[in-house]
Chain A
Amino acid sequence: MGNVLERIPVREQDPKVRAANFDEVCLGYNEEEAVAEAQRCLNCKNAKCITGCPVNIRINEFIAKVKERDFEGAYRTISQSSALPAVCGRVCPQETQCEGKCIRGIKGDPVSIGKLERFVADYARHNGIVPTPDAPPNGHRIAVVGSGPAGLTCAGDLARMGYDVTIFEALHKAGGVLTYGIPEFRLPKDEVVAKEVENVKALGVKICTDVIIGRTESVDELLEQGFEAVFIGSGAGLPMFMGIPGENANGVFSANEYLTRNNLMKAFRDDYDTPIYKAKKVVVVGGGNVAMDAARTALRLGAEVHLVYRRSEAELPARAEEVHHAKEEGIIFDLLTNPVEILTDENDYVRGIRCIRMELGEPDASGRRRPVPVEGSEFEVECDAVIMSLGTSPNPLISSTTVGLDINRRKCIIADEETGATSREGVYAGGDAVTGAATVILAMGAGKTAAKGIDEFIRSRK
């Protein structure tokens, strides 16, 4: 066994090879590697890692079971708290959550909790182990709007408690951002996402795709139809743009569009009809996980990719692993740089982007140092596509069609942090629809909170 201060490295596809395919980058631990990594866990009595987990997985307990090679037991422990362990093991920002609290991390590498979670979930999937409800059916019907991380978690938790849950999904496939947003190379769709959705269905949850709540049916109609409570997990919405000249030119996309074409609509596969813009040199604007996903997708579709971000590397909001992978694959980071204009040719196609250098000033409201333009530092970069990855603003479909549902200044639905309750009795909300664009795991945490809130609400009515 190697140095106990260092984590067991995880096998990955070679950067040069993976830059040209959409197969998963990280190959995960095998049994031996997982057990060896689990040995590094100190099984702290006061396990700090659990407090770092938005869904409070009993991390030390599941890792102890991995040590004993009781992988099924480890899965049962995790699935008490998380409906989507194979997803979380792959996309959670562990470095700022569970692993960020790990005592091992003080002197050396923290335990690879994320990779262990992934291993356990993959083991369960390969061995046909599925979650089981904790309580018999209680006959109460609950509607969940959206089948993304918040909705799946809320539905899964309620189903475990015995509720009769139906999820309504606007798109043709379940999974929300896990399906349309996060790329195949980070989160395989058929192999992982579809199977996690199946696991939620195995708990008795029904999923109706192609139903847009707010259009095909309203929240009020759901309540009239006998659903006793509704959870809104409709996700983030309209993509934001910068408002700079040239932004509506041909070849400027929101990351949402670019990723949806590729992930949900599978433009990268020849057998699908979806067109995607074939660019030679792409500039991605933004520094979050979505920006990394868009950049790495464009790279795999054959482009040279520059990522333009107005702050410095330390402020990049993306997971450390994504930044690391993006660099390995050859994404060029143009930091402390901000676009001021998109340049177009005579037919209104993108031919370049004009940027300005930035420097960091005093900290702003977010606590990060505010980027300020350096006067006279403008320069032009040639490119034939620009992908804007600047976040989203909430979708108005539900808030504008549901009477009495309060929204805040940013048009996010207002929900109680402790219960998920909104201003409408029986209507709960969580995830990006409430917080604005955030992470998968935070949405799951909100789904979990709301499931508890809904359970208490139903019990109080009996």
Chain B
Amino acid sequence: MFKILSKTQLSAVVWEMVVEAPLLARHCRPGQFLIVRKDEVGERIPLTICDYDTEKGTVTIVFQPVGVSSEKFLELEEGDSFLDFVGPLGRPSDICDMSDEELRKKKFLFVCGGVGTAPVYPQVKWLHERGISADVIIGCRTKDLLFYEDKMREVAGHLYVTTDDGSYMHKGVVTTVIDELVAEGKEYNHCVCIGPMIMMKFCCLTTQKYGIPTIVSMNPIMVDGTGMCGACRLTVGDEVKFACVDGPEFDGFKINWAECMKRAAMYKTVEGEAKLRYQEGKTHEGGCGNC
């Protein structure tokens, strides 16, 4: 059992939990993920590791409930426990293997949106701890969905916040900010983008235009997360990769986005039915014809 030490609502739809998991905390590195299961009947949900404290033995997760299993996470309060909390999984970010000298040669740009803002944080922090400042763009639909602004500002070189509806700071999407920064004469040679698939795709189209190599972090459907089921396979270049053992980070220019987006929708109907069953109970049995 893995005890929840704190539970915080970060935005209208995003939650943060700090969980006691000393063994994991000791081995975590930026870019990795873990698998969480609330209880015996729950699914194994892959979540990116958002922060970790080796001394306190804690790992921070940030999630936006999308299916029944992650929605049920919200039933848990401070002091309750997850049944399973396993990892770290996947390969650490490339930056973890770079020497300080290599790192200093890089001009980093991080682009994040939605719940993807959280896993960008440990990478920017890692660089900050090594004296390297990275620029960060956070994009969100509207101000209510923004989180980690102050936290990110503490570790980032420059922080740019943009909202689709202009309700806060810059108005527009992340790619408009990239365009503007490049137009201003800013130079980057390493971009990391984590967020909704559609955002990562368009970010890559933009950075490709400027020749900035871009790494993305994929979060496909998974079951075991250890390389056993193959559910998380995706096409990178002309190879089929498993996100759980080969990733989760890949060269964004080589990803077959159309395939990834379709695969992510595979269980939509089944998930939708389960969600209705969870929200409305047995009343929905038999189906409404819409689900």
Contact = CB atoms under 8 A, between A and B. Distances in A.
B97 to A, nearest CB: 13
A261 B69 CA distance: 14
A216 B226 contact: no
B290 to A, nearest CB: 17
A273 B68 contact: yes
The secondary structure that dominates the B interface is mixed
B223 interface: yes
B227 A272 contact: no
B276 interface: no
B84 A210 contact: yes
Contacts of A424: none
Contact of A257 (B24, B67, B87, B230): B230
B271 to A, nearest CB: 6
Interface stretch (B36-44, B146-154, B163-171, B189-197): B36-44
Interface in A264-282: 264-266, 271-278
Given A253-B231, A275-B274, A216 B223 contact: no
A243 B289 CA distance: 37
Interface stretch (A158-166, A234-242, A285-293): A234-242
* Most chain B Cβ neighbours within 10 Å, of A210, A265, A395: A210
A211 interface: yes
B27 A250 contact: no
B37 A395 contact: no
A217 interface: yes
B242 A250 contact: no
B259 interface: yes
B252 interface: no
A194 interface: no
A253 B68 CA distance: 22
Given A210-B86, A216-B24, A275 B270 contact: yes
By size class, the interface of chain B is: 35 or more
A348 B256 CA distance: 13
A169 B85 CA distance: 13
Interface residues of A, number: 42
Given A239-B228, A274-B43, A348-B262, A172 B27 contact: no
Interface in A381-418: 395-397
A206 B227 CA distance: 25
A248 B228 contact: no
Contacts of B224: 170-171, 180, 260, 264
A301 to B, nearest CB: 12
Contacts of B27: 215-217
A395 B224 CA distance: 13
A156 B224 CA distance: 26
Q: Which of A215, A216, A261, A348 has the most CB of B within 10 A?
A: A215
Contact of A254 (B88, B230, B270): B230
Interface in B215-272: 223-224, 226-231, 233-235, 240, 242, 245, 259, 262-263, 265-267, 270-271
A265 B223 contact: yes
A348 to B, nearest CB: 4
B240 A277 contact: no
Given A215-B88, A216-B27, 4 more contacts: A172-B83, A212-B87, A241-B230, A347-B262
5 cross-chain pairs, A with B, having the tightest CB-CB distances, nearest first: A257-B229, A275-B270, A254-B230, A239-B230, A210-B86
30 contacts: A211-B86, A215-B27, A215-B88, A215-B226, A216-B86, A216-B88, A237-B228, A238-B228, A247-B240, A248-B234, A248-B240, A248-B259, A253-B231, A256-B228, A264-B224, A265-B43, A265-B44, A272-B41, A273-B41, A273-B42, A273-B43, A273-B67, A273-B69, A276-B270, A277-B270, A278-B270, A348-B259, A395-B226, A395-B227, A397-B245
